[in-house]
Amino acid sequence: MQLDATPTSDPLGRGQVGGDTTAHFASDPARALALYERDGFFVEPGALSTEACERLCAAAGELHDHGDAPVAPVMNPHRTHEAFLAALGAPAIVAIVERLVGGRVSGIQSQYFPCVPGTPGFATHQDNHYVEAAPDAFASAWMALDDVDQDNGALLAWPGSQREPLLPVVPVAGVVPHPNQAFNAIRQAVVVPEGYRPRTVVVPRGGVVFLHGHLLHASHPNRAWRTRRALLATYVRRGSAFRPGQSARRTEIDVYQGRLS
């Protein structure tokens, strides 16, 4: 499993990150969608306002009864705090996901990641390993609530790997539970096929990384003094089958509630 940054191009032509930084869904949706389909992910800057990021960070401090902000991932915070439910249904984010999956969507899960200093990185995985939805019906939105770079735990993505089927996972040798990370995030990893090169995904605060369900991705450990708070929201095309899961207990969430159909 390779978890370091690599050159900007893939010699096998399976994807290149950063070749077009001017295309955004807000200004050029056709070009942005083409880049997402090529690479399996796309960074949309400014999808969340500074105020929205601040509301979510403040809400994170209310997720524990004792009033302290969590230091480990929190599953489905939208079930306990309105701010996270509102983020799941943010119109700008939902509109992009609709383009990615080709129709109206339902939310199915959220997860808040504090990624405080010292947090181990997430092992290489495909989100749809857990969800088991149709590949073209499932996408995720990873919302950066802080500026994110390699030092404080940025994502790594293997461009073009979304074209792979769901791949085998193997145990990661020598891993023990860590108080700042979910054990499932570090105890097993996908075996990456030959020819793919991971790229670090740098995201400014308020940017959102849209991820195909089959994209191979991971994250760096947080070796900085800064947090790397993020909110993950996952979606399926309305009516699509998916696996509820024993711990996630996924259910369809109406992301259009209170809005005109």
Tokens of 172: 């990661």
Q: What is the mean pLDDT of each run of 10 residues along the chain (261 residues)?
A: 35 37 90 98 97 96 76 94 96 98 98 96 96 97 98 98 97 91 91 96 98 98 97 97 94 82 37
Look up the CATH number of domain 29-237: 2.60.120.620
Q: Hey, where are the domains in the chain?
A: 29-237
Per-residue pLDDT at 1 = 34
Q: What is the pLDDT of residues 174-226, one digit of tens each?
A: 989 899 998 888 999 999 999 999 999 999 999 999 999 999 999 999 999 99
Per-residue pLDDT at 259 = 61
Per-residue pLDDT at 66 = 62
3-state SS, residue 202: coil
For 58, the enclosing helix (H) or strand (E) is helix 50-60
Kindly report the number of other CB atoms within 10 A of residue 245's CB atom.
Answer: 14
Instruction: State the helix-helix crossing angle for 91-101 and 29-39, rounded to 10 degrees.
Output: 60
Per-residue pLDDT at 58 = 94
Per-residue pLDDT at 3 = 37
Per-residue pLDDT at 185 = 86
Per-residue pLDDT at 20 = 57
Q: How far apart are CA 220 and CA 155, in angstroms?
A: 6
Strand locations in 91-244, DSSP E?
105-113, 138-144, 155-157, 169-171, 188-190, 199-201, 208-212, 217-219, 230-237
Does this model's pTM top 0.75? Answer: yes
Per-residue pLDDT at 41 = 98
Per-residue pLDDT at 84 = 97
